[in-house]
Amino acid sequence: MITEVFNLKKNTRKGKTILPGTKSNRCPYCGGAIELRSADGIYKKKRSGTMLYTCTNYPKCDAYVRVLPGTKTPIGSLANGDLRALRREAHQRFDRLHLSGLMSRKDAYEWLSEILQAPMSHTHIGYLGEYYCKQVIEESTRMMENWRKGQSGWYRQRVQQASGGEIYAVK
């Protein structure tokens, strides 16, 4: 179960903001300090005004996380290149579930919530670690394969519940 707090926390003693996934605004990979900086020189695509929290040891340590435009709120937790790649793949595999028509976006997030054994408010791939990303990739792939074979039991059960017992044909 995911237990990480996904909102910025205020350290009431020192008045500092602590990033999700860190205990004292130190990089979980190398122990370096974390700073808010422009994405210039990091993102290949020019995204004017994009800000990131990065490890001060960047580029030696490539841990960073983007912030919501116009805020200091991170979109996920600090991640190195390997974890960012896993998160991208997990998101691509997960998005296929609702983009394919297998289920609605809402149903896909309910399914993800069940897979992660976490409340819907905590089902954000940007906060997942390596283990949970691999689970999302594996389970999403399995769900798509089963759907293609006509054996998507979870979705059939959800449709049956929603329709009061009647099962509609699934693509």
Please write the tens of the pLDDT for every residue from 19-52: 666 667 889 999 999 999 998 878 776 666 789 9
Residue 107 scores a pLDDT above 60 = yes
* Predicted local confidence at residue 149, as pLDDT: 78
Q: 44, 59, 78: which is the final residue of a domain?
A: 78
pLDDT over 70 percentage in the chain: 72
Q: What's the full length of the chain, in residues?
A: 171
Q: How far is it, in rounded angstroms, from Cα 147 to Cα 102?
A: 7
Query: Is the residue at 170 inside a domain?
Result: no
Retrieve residue 72's tokens: 């200091």
Other beta carbons within 10 Å of 171? 9
Q: Taking the CA atoms of the chain, what radius of gyration do you get in angstroms?
A: 19
Q: 58, 78, 98: which is the final residue of a domain?
A: 78
Residue 80 scores a pLDDT above 90 = yes
Q: How far is it, in rounded angstroms, from Cα 78 to Cα 84?
A: 9
* Predicted local confidence at residue 22, as pLDDT: 64
Retrieve residue 94's tokens: 């997960």
Same domain assignment for residues 61 and 129? no
Same domain assignment for residues 69 and 87? no
* Predicted local confidence at residue 24, as pLDDT: 72
Same domain assignment for residues 73 and 97? no
Find out whether 127 and 6 touch, Cβ atoms under 8 Å: yes
Helix, strand, coil content of the chain in percent (nearest 5): 40, 15, 45
Query: Is the residue at 111 inside a domain?
Result: yes
Q: How far is it, in rounded angstroms, from Cα 115 to Cα 128?
A: 13
Provide the domain count of the chain: 2
| 131: containing domain | 82-162
Same domain assignment for residues 60 and 118? no
Same domain assignment for residues 94 and 62? no
Q: 36, 56, 78: which is the final residue of a domain?
A: 78
pLDDT in tens, 120-155: 888 889 999 999 999 999 999 998 888 887 755 555
Residue 157 scores a pLDDT above 60 = no
Query: Is the residue at 95 inside a domain?
Result: yes
Query: Is the residue at 169 inside a domain?
Result: no
Specify the pTM.
0.74
Same domain assignment for residues 28 and 49? yes
Mean pLDDT for all residues in the chain: 79
pLDDT over 90 percentage in the chain: 43
Q: How far is it, in rounded angstroms, from Cα 98 to Cα 104?
A: 5
Same domain assignment for residues 53 and 86? no
Q: Which residues does 53 contact at the CB level (< 8 Å), separation at least 6?
A: 19, 34, 35, 36, 37, 64, 65, 67, 74, 78
Q: How far is it, in rounded angstroms, from Cα 21 to Cα 94?
A: 22
* Predicted local confidence at residue 86, as pLDDT: 97
